[in-house]
Amino acid sequence: MPQRVGLVVHPSRNVDGPLQALERWAATHDVELIRLEVIGDQRPVSLAPTLKECDLFVAIGGDGTTLAAIRAASQADRPVMGVACGSLGVLTTVPANRVTPALERFRVNTWRPRPLPALEVTRDDGSTLLAFNDVVTVRGGQGQVRTTVHIDGVLYARFAGDGWIVSTPVGSSAYALASGGPLLAPGADGFTLTPLPTHGGFCPPLVAGAKSRLALETAAGYGGARLEVDGQVVDTRIGSVRIALRPNVVTIVDFADDEPLMTGLRRRQIIIDSPRILADDARC
């Protein structure tokens, strides 16, 4: 039975319905709710001692809001429940009108943990970052981004273009997929490198093993470039990074009857059947 729940709420979306359901459930079960403050780019501030004592983090909004809760939960080693206000995403598995049943299932321990890895990104100054979806370098203006990629110490490719995306398995269904990268099925161990449009040459997307190490040396043209982590700009100074996959960094609250990933991607028409197949169906 949770005693304290950390709460992250989308800053502008209408979340009154699921928020009120959560508040009623908390009052019924004498559960303390603690609102997590986030800064403007949806990154959580450092956790207060009371937040580190939370038994559960609940995010109400979308996948971006859930990522903010995930960052907080990774500091406290607690699970995250993502509530979708809109279409169900990859991380927001609870529909807005099912908040109370989901919380009850958590309370009586009929949920299942879904561990998520993160990308550990080490920069050339020795600082480290964690990415739960992806880390991206993208050009900021005119000119090319030049990148040299090594995997496990072996040269893979050198390319000039718009930049690159390195994604976790969950993140492979986001920016990387939209850019033509590979989709990692649930349960796959590994991470992906997707070059953004290149200016000549040939460098296909790469699936790296779970224990592989990527080293990327990147130089920007005169238009500059930026480094992004989980969709947020971290720096306009790029340079060299080393990237590895760290397993089991955070836990998502999952249920046996949740919508499968592939079903959700098809429902949202991210994956679409070819017109010939759809025409065959229409004739039946």
Active-site residue list = 63
- What does 270-284 look like in DSSP terms, one character per residue? SS---HHHHHHHHH-
The residues, any chain, with a CB within 8 Å of residue 188's CB and separated by 6 or more, are: 169
Query: To which H or E segment does residue 86 belong?
Result: none
Instruction: Compute the distance between CA of residue 66 and CA of residue 205 in angstroms, rounded to an integer.
Output: 27
Torsion of CA 163, 168, 169, 175, to 10 degrees: -40
Degrees to nearest 5, angle at CA 115 with 37 and 259: 90
Cα(151)–Cα(146) distance, rounded to whole angstroms?
A: 17
Quote the distance between the C-alpha of residue 199 and its chain's center. 28
Find, among 162, 157, 139, 150, the residue nearest to 242 by Cα. Answer: 150
Q: Return d(Cα 236, Cα 57) in angstroms, integer.
A: 32
Rounded CA separation 117/187 (Å): 11
